[in-house]
Amino acid sequence: MLEYRLPDLDLEQIARSGQCFCWRALEWGGYGVTAAGRYLEVKQQGDLFCFTCAEEEFYAFWRGYFDLDADYGAVKRAIDPEDALLTRAAAFGGGIRLLRQDLWEVMVCFLLSQNNNITRITRSVRLLCRRWGEHRSAPGTRAGSYFTFPGPDDLAGAAQEDFAAIGFGYRAKYMAALCAQMRDGGLARLEAELRPADGAQAERRLMELYGVGKKVADCICLFGLHKRDFFPVDTHIRHVLEARYPLGFPFERYQGSLGILQQYLFYYDLYHG
DNA sequence: AGCCAGGAAGTCC
DNA sequence: GGACTTCATGGC
Whether the pLDDT of residue A79 is over 80: the answer is: yes
Percentage of residues in chain A with pLDDT exceeding 70?
Answer: 100
> How does pLDDT run across A2-37, given as a tens digit for each residue?
999 999 999 999 999 999 999 999 999 999 999 999
Find out whether A1 and A63 touch, Cβ atoms under 8 Å: no
Instruction: Spell out the residues 6+ positions from residue A102 whose beta carbon is closer than 8 angstroms to its own.
Output: A35, A36, A149, A224
Chain C positions with any atom < 7 A from a protein CB:
4-9
Q: Say what the pLDDT of residue A1 is.
A: 86
> How does pLDDT run across A98-132, given as a tens digit for each residue?
999 999 999 999 999 999 998 999 999 999 999 99
What CA–CA distance (Å, rounded) separates A180 from A229?
A: 30
Residue numbers in A 222-241, CB below 7 Å of strand B: 232, 234-237
> How does pLDDT run across A208-239, given as a tens digit for each residue?
999 999 999 999 999 999 999 999 999 889 98
Residues in reach of strand C, judged by a CB distance below 7 angstroms, are: A 115-117, 119-120, 123, 164, 167, 169-171, 173
Percentage of residues in chain A with pLDDT exceeding 90?
Answer: 95
A230 three-state secondary structure: coil
What CA–CA distance (Å, rounded) separates A147 from A137?
A: 9
What CA–CA distance (Å, rounded) separates A10 from A94?
A: 8
Instruction: Spell out the residues 6+ positions from residue A151 whose beta carbon is closer than 8 angstroms to its own.
Output: A104, A187
CA of A115 to C1' of C3 (A): 12
Angle at which helices A199-206 and A186-194 cross, to 10°: 150
Q: Say what the pLDDT of residue A272 is.
A: 84
Q: Say what the pLDDT of residue A19 is.
A: 94
Q: Mean pLDDT score of chain A, rounded to an integer?
A: 96
